[in-house]
Every structure is written in structure tokens, then in C-alpha cells.
Structure 1
Amino acid sequence: MDIAPIFASLHKHRTPVALIVLEIALACAVFCNAVFIIGQRVAELGMSNAIAESHLVVISVNGSNPDTARADIPRNLAALRGIPGVTGAAVMTSIPFGQSAGVDGVSTGPDSQVHPGASRYMLGEGGPRVLGLRLLKGRFFGPGEYADSTLRGGMMPNGHVVIITQSLAQRLWPSGHALGQQLWVGSEKHYAVIGVTADVARPGSSSIGRGSAHYAVFFPLAPDPAFTQYVVRSAPQNRQRVLHAAEAKLHTLAPNMVIKGQTFAQIRDQAFTATRSMAWVLVLVCLVMLTVTAFGIVGLSSFWVRQRRRQIGIRRAIGATRANILRYFQTENFLIVSLGIALGMVLSWGVNLYLMKHYELPRLPWHYLPVGALTLWLIGQLAALGPALHASRVPPVVATRSV
């Protein structure tokens, strides 16, 4: 088909063509970036967390007496371990996917570059086993390494031992030699790395960039008022029974404390509520944008068919078939959509650069662009099909009528 007449016709209708091209470009930019963000959010729902999630329940306690906490914690743990079906219990200051906790800027030396913050997990004795931490290198804490600390300034005694996650180890020591190294917090505090575990999610991971979502440090700590999370382990089928029994036991032992228990599955689900909501909002935005674009194409195509009825009739009268008329309007639509997509590709990169700068979003992978283009081409052809079919049914007799 000779497309020169099509370009000539589009040139005569520059304003409506420009408007629909801009609408398609905007739809392309929004669609590509929204689909990318949706993919990022859906991936976050399955964020890895190398602990025995299906075996754990967590009981948060608040309002404990700081003067008696060091004696109350061993008593409470002994009571929890005595519940039928419980295979272990320990205390922590915070939990993966829980509320945001202490974060420290870490480095490899007092004068080295400070890397993005790492979450601070204080673990009571038996904590690594109860959580099901997977040791990749080194060893876990020994019985005599749980420090008797008052958490001066929220930190362990200087020079103590720590365990770090694999992601943090790779960030600080890319060569892979983390064991025996000194982990510095600020320019004064340093700790010996004795173990590296598989990646454990940080508290508040759903609001942290994926690149640093597994930067965590484990400190060994003796019973201390800072412990507010009791983690209880059992077989998955016993979790609900153990949860209710643990809550009741702690209420009996400490009636003045505020106690709330959850399975770890519930904690993970709550942590990503906002993530799921954002994903659905973006899906709705995509649907609305594509629908508006489709109606815009339908409206423009229908308008042009009405404007050209006599011209179509003349073409039919001199031998054009219905297929010729249909192909003409579909080709015309394809060219308009292609112009919009070409501009939309540029806008997509521009929007992505803005999101990278202000919201720490990764770079938009190139394959999202052809996906967006194919989607808009398909929507454009489907949207123009109705008006094009209507145009192909214009009879030749229309050419004999006055304008």
C-alpha cells in the first residue's frame, strides 16, 4: 500500500494527531514503568528470609520491669520450653519483617567508607538454633559469648564477636574473606566476625531497597531489658496451639505486661500489606490509562470515518474493495500509534531516571520497552477495528450525494 496519502491526510489533521500521539506516548511511559514497579513489588512478596518461618511464633512483650527483667527472662523461657510441642524458645530485640529497629552504619575500618546501614539483631542464648539460621562459614556463638551488657548507647561491649549475613559480608569484603575481620560501627566500636549466615531479612524490609534488605548483624546478649520478642519454635501443625498456650503462660507469669502473639506467617503477611496495595493500585492505573488511550483512538478513528464518508464512497466507486478500506484505516492507526510509542520510549527512560534518582528504583530493563510497544500496538489495532469496519461498509452510492 502507498502510505504517502496517509501521511498527507495526517498532515492536514495535525492537531488531533498530535494530541493522540501525546496520549499514546504518556500511556507508554506510564505503562512500562508501572509494569516494572509491579514486577519489583511482586518479587518483594517472595523476599528470601533464611530462617525456619513455618516453625515459628513470636510473642511481643511490653511493659516489663527493667529491674527484674534479667531474672524474669530465664523464668519465662523455661515456662515456654515446657509447653507440649515446643522444641525451643529464645529472646530477641527485633525480628525479621517486624517493626524497624536499630540500624548502624558499618565499615571495614575506622577511616573506611561507611556502607549503607545494617540492622542490629540482639540474640539471647539458643537464638540461632531456634531461628534456624543457616551457617555458611565460621561458627555460632558459644555459651560464654553472650555478653552481660546494659546496652550502653545501644551497642555491645567493644571487641565482642558478631555474626553477619552473606549479603553484608559480600558488600564489605567482596573477596569473600569475612571471617576474622573487624566490623566497625562508627570510628570507635569494632567487633570480630566469627560467622556468616544465609541472608536474613531486616526489620521493615518491605520499605527498604532490595539491595540492602539483607544487611544484618547478630550480637550475642545475656538476658537484658532490651529483649521484647520471645520466639518459640514448634512443628508447623502445632503453631496455633503453641501460640495460644504461650500467650496464656506469659499472661500468668507477668499479668502487667502487654502481650501480643503472632505466627511468623502473619508477621510476613502484615509486613507486605502496603506492597500488595501499591501493586494493585498500579495495576488499576495501567488499566485506566490503557482504557482511556483505547477510547481516544476509537473517538479519533470514528471522527475521521464520518469526515471521509464521501471520500470513502468515491474510492469504493472506482474499485477499492472493503479490504482496501479496512487496511487503509488500520495502517493509518498503526502509524499514529508508532509515533506515540517512539516518543513514549524516550519518556519511559526519562521517568525511570527520575524514579532512580528520587526513589532508588533500579534501572528499567530494556525488554519492558518492546512489551509496552506490543501492548499499545495491539490495543491501537483493536480500538481502530470497529471504526475501520464501519468505514469498509460505506457503499459507493455515497459518492453521488452532495457534501
Structure 2
Amino acid sequence: MSLKHILKIIVKHRNISLMILIQIAIAVTIVGNASFISYGTLKNWLIPSHLDEYEILNVYTKVFDNQVDKSALIQRDLSNLSALPEVTQVTYASNELVLATVSGSNQVYKTTDQEEAGIENAQFDITSEGVATLGLTITQGRDFYPNEFVFAGSDQGRFASVALISEALAKSLFGEQSALGQTVYLQRARLPYRVVGVYANKMLGESAVYEQHWYHSTIVPQAQFGSTDVNYLLRVKKGTSEAILKDVEDALYQQGGRIVERVEFAARAKKRLWDGRSTFAFIMIGISVIAVAVTTFGIIGLVSFSVSIRKKDIGILRALGASQSTVLKTLLIENALLAMAGILLGSFAALWLNNYFVTHLRAQGLVEPWLAVMVAISVWLLSAVAVYIPVRKAAKIAPARVTKT
């Protein structure tokens, strides 16, 4: 049977044809977006942190006693933690802990223009051993001088004047120009800091990573204290066991008026960073499986119904000399055309919906062409398998049985 006649049959039974087409389009839209989002989320696990994840510890504490002298407390803690045999460097951390957000307001700007949109950034305020604790490699410029460090209460209005920035942030802000000597403006207050050095990329604060600015970070030589949070970063010797976590807690519990919330390796913080998002990805995969199952049974039901109301037409076709294989081929081509139309419609809908998710909901699901092709082929094969059972049964209809009336 010619393609022209097959198209006429589709038009004649347009209601059922349209339902099959829409069912396939919906499946492509759902499965396509779920695949983009799941792939975009799960592949984040493969992005290297460039951190010594099992040699850096995050230490979270809170001071609940307002009478505690935080300046003296921090100095005492730094001394006690440095005394632990496994600890090689320790720094106070005002704003961020490695791959875990303490402050969510970290933005970096090129100017003081209030209309300028900031770039998400991990800002690390550190004391003298901070660069060594994070394991930074300075590729341009220099490290901080001792007289550039500021240690002050957050109510004193004293801030450092210089900063180190990552290579990725330097490129985002200044392109191919040198970042050395440039001024960057940090946080909503847009405090000015002169760039004195650039360091090799490290995956640091969670807020920057969440915005897919994997290696945007800034190191500032200042320790601002005053809030209840008093946190530290520690570097320990390679191969140090988890027993160090208990030793750190014991060292900090010697001070009354505060609690130790958590001590963890950076590797654990990184895992926690992706736990919630990977769960979301697996949920999307589950939704895809349900959509595929519903589409399969829906197509089987619709094609079976279509065949049941076309028995006489098929019988007449057989009576006129058409073989079973000819009838089977005709019905398969008919449904293949509907599947192709549904895939095209669903692909356009999936692209539009994906753009909406990425733009408005910050989903990590940019379109991957090879993945889109795989989804299209998979849905087309699924539809072919779904129609084969009822179509094969229809091809076996005996002409005498359906034409005798």
C-alpha cells in the first residue's frame, strides 16, 4: 500500500491517531527532560574538586554564652588544634567551609555600580595558615604579607585590603587581561579588595558550586568574628584516620559556653553536597520509568481499539489479495509515521520546558544532543514494540469472518 493511502487512513481515523501522537509526544517531553536533568546532575560527581578531600577537615562550632571573649577563644582554639599530632595547619574560617555553605551572601563584582549583577563566589576569610590549609598553589602574583592580615570583631569595621582569587574567577571577571592589581568588590556591601595573586582552581564553597561556578572563589586575609558561629579549617597528615574527628572535638570541648556541631572531612561535605541533588535525579529517573510504562500500555490499548473498529477494512484488504505480511507492514508504517510526528512534537516541547527549568528553576539539565537522539530512538523503538502485538494479531484476521455480514 502506498504512503498516500496510509496517510488517508491516518486522516480517516484522526481521533485515535491524534491520541497516539500526543501520548508519544508527552512521553518524549517527560523522558527527555528527566534524562537531561538526571544526566546533568549525576555527572557533577565526575567534576574534580582538586582538593585533598581526606586531608582537610571542616569544624563547626557555636558559642551560646555571650560572656565568652571570642577573640581569646579563637586564639586558644588555634593553639590547641595546632598542638594535635596529626594536624599540620589550622585556620579560622569566617565565611565558608570547604564545600559547605556558612554564608549564602557571597557575591563578587567588578564595579560599585548597584545595577551590576554579581557572580556567585565562595569567599574564604582566613588567618595566617589559611593558604597552606586549603593547599592553594599560587600561579600568578604572591601570597599575603604578615601585615596584611586583619583580626577583628565584626562590629569594629576593620577589613583587609587585598585578596587572592581563583583562575576561573579571574577569567570570568577580566577575560584575558591580568587580574593582578585589579580591584574586586565583595558581598552586598561591595567592599573593595586589590588582587595580589591568582591560584590554581579548587572546588570550594557550596554556594558557588550550586550555581555551577565550580571554581569561583576568593581568599581574604581577615578574620571577622562576632556571630555565634566560630568555625575552623584543619589540614591533617595524609592517611590520618577518622579518630582525628574525636580528638578535635575533645580539644574544643575544653572551652565552656559553646557547642561543637560537627567535625568532618571535606570528602563527607562533598558527598553531602550532592546527596540531595542525586536523590532528585533518581526521582526523575523513576518518573521516566513510569512515563514509559504508561505510554507503552497506552499505545497498546489505543492500537488495539483502532484495530477492533477497523476489522472489516482489514478483512476486505485481505479479501482483495493482501497477504498477512502486507497488512502487518502497512499498519507498522502507519504507526511509525505517528511515532515520528509525536517524537518531533515532544522534542520541541522538551527543549522549551528544559529552557524554562534551567532559566527559572536553576535546574542543572542543559540539553545534550547525543542524549536527545538516544531518547528519540528509544521512544520510537518502544512505540514499535508496543504496536507490534495488536498489529500482528490484526494481520491474521480471516477475510471470510469479517466480510460475511
Residue deviations 1:163-188 (CA, integer Å, cap 9, x gap) = 11222211111024001212234787
Aligned partners of 2:109 and 2:190 also within 8 Å: no
Which stretch shifts more, 226-235 or 38-47?
A: 226-235
Mapping 1:71-220, distance limit 5 Å:
71-93=72-94, 94-101=96-103, 103-111=105-113, 113-152=116-155, 156-157=159-160, 160-185=161-186, 189-205=191-207, 208-210=210-212, 212-220=213-221
Q: 1:188 to 1:165 in 2, by over 3 A?
A: closer
Matches of 2:395 and 2:342 in 1, distance apart? Answer: 25
Secondary structure at the counterpart of residue 156 of structure 1: coil
Q: CA deviation at 1:304?
A: 2.3
Q: 1:152 to 1:171 in 2, by over 3 A?
A: farther
Secondary structure at the counterpart of residue 246 of structure 2: helix
Aligned partners of 1:314 and 1:398 also within 8 Å: no
Report the equivalent of 1:364: 367
TM-score normalised by L of structure 2 = 0.88
Report the equivalent of 2:284: 282
Mapping 1:4-403, distance limit 5 Å:
4-63=4-63, 67-93=68-94, 94-101=96-103, 103-111=105-113, 113-152=116-155, 156-157=159-160, 160-185=161-186, 189-205=191-207, 208-210=210-212, 212-222=213-223, 224-225=225-226, 228-251=230-253, 253-259=254-260, 260-360=262-362, 364-399=367-402, 401-402=404-405
State the identity as a percent.
24
Matches of 1:389 and 1:100 in 2, distance apart? Answer: 63
Residue type of the alignment partner of 2:332:
Q
Aligned partners of 2:92 and 2:232 also within 8 Å: yes
Aligned partners of 2:25 and 2:342 also within 8 Å: yes
Matches of 1:161 and 1:65 in 2, distance apart? Answer: 33
Matches of 1:177 and 1:273 in 2, distance apart? Answer: 38
Q: CA deviation at 1:308?
A: 3.1
Q: CA deviation at 1:110?
A: 3.7
Q: 1:69 to 1:174 in 2, by over 3 A?
A: same
Secondary structure at the counterpart of residue 289 of structure 2: helix
Residue type of the alignment partner of 1:141:
F
Matches of 1:155 and 1:33 in 2, distance apart? Answer: 49
Residue deviations 1:261-316 (CA, integer Å, cap 9, x gap) = 12222211222222011101111111111221111111111122323334434444
Matches of 1:187 and 1:69 in 2, distance apart? Answer: 24
Matches of 1:123 and 1:273 in 2, distance apart? Answer: 28
Q: 1:269 to 1:307 in 2, by over 3 A?
A: same
Residue deviations 1:53-85 (CA, integer Å, cap 9, x gap) = 121222211116675222232332232233233
Aligned partners of 2:99 and 2:266 also within 8 Å: no
Aligned partners of 1:149 and 1:224 also within 8 Å: yes
Matches of 1:309 and 1:108 in 2, distance apart? Answer: 73
Q: 1:41 to 1:302 in 2, by over 3 A?
A: same
Which stretch shifts more, 335-344 or 177-186?
A: 177-186
Residue type of the alignment partner of 2:110:
T
Aligned partners of 2:90 and 2:234 also within 8 Å: yes
Q: CA deviation at 1:49?
A: 2.8
Q: CA deviation at 1:12?
A: 1.8
Which stretch shifts more, 254-263 or 217-226?
A: 217-226
Residue type of the alignment partner of 1:50:
H
Residue type of the alignment partner of 1:69:
K
Secondary structure at the counterpart of residue 128 of structure 2: coil
Matches of 2:347 and 2:119 in 1, distance apart? Answer: 33
Q: CA deviation at 1:146?
A: 1.5
Which stretch shifts more, 329-338 or 308-317?
A: 308-317
5+ residue gaps in structure 2? none
Matches of 1:283 and 1:12 in 2, distance apart? Answer: 37
Q: CA deviation at 1:240?
A: 0.3
Aligned partners of 2:121 and 2:207 also within 8 Å: no
Residue type of the alignment partner of 2:22:
L
Residue type of the alignment partner of 2:49:
N
Q: How many equivalent residue pairs?
A: 398
Aligned partners of 1:55 and 1:236 also within 8 Å: yes
Matches of 2:264 and 2:107 in 1, distance apart? Answer: 30
Residue type of the alignment partner of 1:344:
G
Q: CA deviation at 1:232?
A: 2.3
5+ residue gaps in structure 1? none
